Structure 1
Amino acid sequence: MTTTVPKVFAFHEFTGVAEAVADHVVNAQNLALSKEPFAIRNGGGASGSGSTQAANGSLAVPQLSGHVSRQASTRSISGREPSTPASGSSNPNIRSPSSSKLKKIKEKRFKIALSGGSLIQVLHEGLFKRQDVQWGKWDIYFADERLVPFDSPESNFGLTKRKILDLIDTATYGSPRVFHINEALIEDPQECADDYEKLLIKGFAGRDSVKLPMFDLFLLGCAPDGHIASLFPNFQENLRENLAWVVSVTDAPSGPSNRISLTIPVICHSHQVTFVVEGATKAPVVKTIMERPEKGLPSSIVNEGAAGRVAWFVDDDALTDVFVTKKKYKFLVHTQEPERAHTES
């Protein structure tokens, strides 16, 4: 394997990683939300992508419990549509957008995939220091999920709910739409994977036929054993899957044995793929990924498959004895100095 070397941004400590990752996420958000035509963005009082005023709506996540019905799980992912922009204008030469254009404005979303683990703490640490996160325009999917009840500490959705979703000031910033697995299906990994794939098809394909979903940003960690999402080294069948969007995982070598995971082609098809890795325990696997890509670890496969669109945010401990060219991260949407106080959950 002749992997293209990804961008590696290194920081002295965890706080630096968290602030830079938050800036990186907000930049991806702004890029995604600014794709509508300029005339539509500015006509009839519609807000541009720089506005922090998001759509109103209740947080579309269920309460944590040991069991939810399939019907309840389906309802939990459907947030309210944004309010229709005001169309009154004193200038008769400015035409209000048509209803079809307004629909396009309302439907523009920032689609992000999250893995679990320490990444969620990084996001918690960084995003809540900012005032430019347009939560109401986010569609949050999960890179993988452990098939455990949502109230389990092992649940990626459960952790994200406790550390991020429950803490959002929805009155100010709106509510993200959250797309999680059906908790009622956790005893059947294949059915759960099939059901989540249908959810992805509904969110990305709609009436059109698309080969792969395209996330605006795919955020991943990397475990000391080299697995990303729930794609493990030496699980060749899953690593070579090139048709399914979601696969079931059974007999995982660490953590909960039953899981689902988005596949390598889905990850590599994203506009941006970002790894967030910290701690000295990760240094040996990072060394293998960066210096021995021919070993074929999942991260190396992604570095190759999404070449030019991959970035790594790491602390210095994770780069101990790793030979790699470090880059200095330049803040892109750093419009104000981040608050230094930590937001406790």
Structure 2
Amino acid sequence: MTTNVPKVFAFHEFTGVAEAVADHVVHAQDSALNRELKEKKPSNTSLSASGLSGDGKNMARVSSTKSLNASSTNCSRDRSGSVSNKKLKKEKEARFKIALSGGSLIQVLHEGLLKREDVQWGKWDIYFADERLVPFDSPESNYGLAKRKIFDLVDTARYGEPRIYHIDETLIGDPQECADKYEKLLIKGFAGRDSVKLPMFDLCLLGCAPDGHIASLFPNFQENLREKLAWVVSVENAPSGPSNRISLTIPVICHSHRIAFVVEGATKAPVVKTIMERPEKGLPSSIVNEGAAGRVSWFVDDDALTDVLITKKKYKFRCQSKNEE
């Protein structure tokens, strides 16, 4: 594996990490919504068609959901020169598609996003990069934690209500069926009327555990890191934490417009050192650094960079919230 060094933004305290991550998220949101308005077709519809091989997966990635490009037969400007109905419809349908992991990342987003006034929650499509197969009221549920710490606290009357795509809680006892059904959710959300090889998130937000796992992809465990075709995989008998999980695959994560890792704490320093200095070890995040070179950013506190030889960058805020002006 060659060395592709990502952008690493370091901060003295947790608050600095949270504020920068929130700014990065809002910048990704604005870029995605503006991009959708400019393009005649969503970027992922231009990708080559591909089916899935394997049991129960030899299927075209096609869904019956309405395409963002559904044409309108009555698109005309009025005498005042107002925008056409087609443009208004397209603007209304522009969406920001984000994938979230769980753990301490949720607290970072709680601290950084909820105080901002420029988060267009009503235009968000929220998916999960992974999920632990536990009841939603469990403290170990990624969706459950995000719901309690973020979604339930959003002023939806003011900012709109996001669309949230979580696993089917009734399937937590069957990891493979749960993974298959979540993959179908992705197909419906990203394929539209077209066949696409991979979904393309506008932003994928991930943490990194002390043992090196990202989402629910563990180092040197099963064959999940080598999966090339599936969008979602089941994970059984995980080495740590809840035993059964599902996870987005490496190709899906790497295909995102932007990928950001959020890591804090001295307990993460040894694994961050390996990731940054020994990419040939092939830890999952090193694979992402390589596979999505140029689109990966790391947001870390100084404790997580203890004894790590890396060039740190100063984060430049680009989306100052009104309540911060």
Aligned to 2:84: 97
Task: Pick which of 235-244 and 163-172 moved more.
Answer: 235-244
- The alignment status of 1:108 with 2:94, answered yes or no, reads yes
1:33-182 alignment runs, 5 A limit: 33-37=33-37, 92-98=79-85, 100-182=86-168
Scaled by the length of structure 1, the TM-score of the pair is 0.81
Confirm or deny: 8 A CA contact 1:129 1:338 kept in the other structure: no
Amino acid paired to 1:293: P
Q: Percent identity?
A: 81
Per the alignment, do residues 237 and 22 of structure 1 end up closer, same or farther by CA in structure 2, a change over 3 Å counting? Answer: same
1:132-171 CA distance string (max 9 Å, x none): 0000000000000000000001100000000000000011
1:190-245 CA distance string (max 9 Å, x none): 00000000000000002100000000000000000000000000025100000000
Distance, in Å, in 2 between the alignment partners of 1:95 and 1:336 is 28
Aligned to 2:312: 326
Aligned to 1:242: 228
Tell me how many residue pairs correspond in the alignment: 293
Aligned to 1:21: 21
Scaled by the length of structure 2, the TM-score of the pair is 0.86
RMSD, aligned CA: 2.2
Give 1:280's match in structure 2, choosing from 259, 266, 291.
Answer: 266
Per the alignment, do residues 176 and 234 of structure 1 end up closer, same or farther by CA in structure 2, a change over 3 Å counting? Answer: same
Shift of 1:104: 2.0
Confirm or deny: 8 A CA contact 1:224 1:282 kept in the other structure: yes
Distance, in Å, in 2 between the alignment partners of 1:268 and 1:128 is 27
Amino acid paired to 1:299: S
Confirm or deny: 8 A CA contact 2:126 2:165 kept in the other structure: yes
Aligned to 2:48: none
Aligned to 1:264: 250
> Helix, strand or coil: the match of 1:195?
helix
Amino acid paired to 1:217: L
Per the alignment, do residues 39 and 310 of structure 1 end up closer, same or farther by CA in structure 2, a change over 3 Å counting? Answer: closer
Shift of 1:297: 0.2
Per the alignment, do residues 231 and 166 of structure 1 end up closer, same or farther by CA in structure 2, a change over 3 Å counting? Answer: same
- Structure 1 regions of 5+ residues with no counterpart? 41-77, 79-89, 340-345
- Structure 2 regions of 5+ residues with no counterpart? 41-64, 66-76
Confirm or deny: 8 A CA contact 2:117 2:323 kept in the other structure: no
Shift of 1:93: 4.5
> Helix, strand or coil: the match of 2:196?
coil
